[in-house]
């Protein structure tokens, strides 16, 4: 007897504990709503100067000044 694979409509992936909740109703959203992405907050000149004034080491002051001038952005989970 040969083992044959049945072609599924949406693929063969199932969640890890699929067998536990196979026949039970699934609770979830019927429609996914798009939420507008929030832009990152930019520090004011006074806030940047306060950070630079609080640095006790020249190395730290240089690092924060470099970050401020180059303008890197941290990507959060919600933004794409």
Whether residue 9 has pLDDT greater than 70: no
pLDDT digits (tens, 9 = 90+) for 26-39: 676 777 788 888 88
Q: What is the pLDDT of residue 11?
A: 66
Phi-psi region of 29 (alpha: psi -120 to 50; beta: other; left: phi over 0): beta
pLDDT of 4: 56
pLDDT at residue 42, as a whole number:
83
The rounded distance, in Å, linking the Cα atoms of 69 and 48 is 10
- Measured N-to-C along each axis, helices 45-54 and 58-70 cross at an angle, to the nearest 10 degrees, of 160
pTM more than 0.75:
no
């Amino acid at each position: 007897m040969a083992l044959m694979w049945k072609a599924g409509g949406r693929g063969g992936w199932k969640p890890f504990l699929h067998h536990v909740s196979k026949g039970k109703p699934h609770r979830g959203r019927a429609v996914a709503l798009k939420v507008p992405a929030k832009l990152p907050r930019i520090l004011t000149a006074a806030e940047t100067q306060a950070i630079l004034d609080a640095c006790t080491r020249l190395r730290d002051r240089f690092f924060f000044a470099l970050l401020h001038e180059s303008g890197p952005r941290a990507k959060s989970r919600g933004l794409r």
